[in-house]
Amino acid sequence: MTIIGFVRHGVTAWNKEGRAQGHTDVPLDEEGIEMANRVADRLANENWDVIYTSHLKRASKTAEIIAEKMPGVELVEDPRLQEIGGGMVEGTTEAERIKKWGKDWRELDMGFERQEDIITRGLASINKIRNKHEGKRVLVVSHGSFIKRMLNELIVDTVYEKSLDNTSLTIIELADDKNICQLFNCTAHLSHSL
């Protein structure tokens, strides 16, 4: 069996402002870097074999900080792990969307990345990781909406609706018969104030 540890990136200024990020390459802010250091300290005390990351700055910087505390652990970028494309809403807040497109903006064609495309690229990446690192423990540093979509595809008996917290750790066990979620949205490493 292969273990996948999903880590959501640290916080950004747009997270704090409630702006949709999607494919927009927003960097971590100072607090996000501190959060990444906290999760890195936690993960450095565990055994992980390889780290995969989205190429977007907020995830790749989080992954780099984690990798710095794990000498000898390979860090691999995979663009298929990027966040879901948000089309025309990227860079906007909910209030701005309502003002611009009305309260029913979700019913409009906003150019979002298609669900089938998200699932196809995401599962292709996860399956490649699983095949290449069979029996290993693999960290995947990515994005909240993307990770949630992958969980809902990989763990068939549960629906994950809760948003994932920044730098949360979610661990799943990929087995031949049934995948199991061992840990969901854990932020114990952030328990003391930043």
Q: b vs e for 63-85, b when ≥16 Cβ sit within 10 Å of the residue's Cβ? A: bbbbbeebeebebebbebbbbbe
Q: Which residues form the catalytic set?
A: 9, 83
Q: What is the pLDDT of residue 158?
A: 86
The predicted structure's pLDDT at residue 130: 95
pLDDT at 156: 87
Q: Would you state the pLDDT for residue 193? A: 60
What's the pLDDT at 190?
Answer: 95
> Tell me, what's the pLDDT at 176?
85
Looking at the structure, give the CATH architecture of the domain made up of residues 2-190: 3-Layer(aba) Sandwich (3.40)
Q: Is the entire prediction scored with pTM above 0.75?
A: yes
Residues of the chain with pLDDT under 70: 192-194
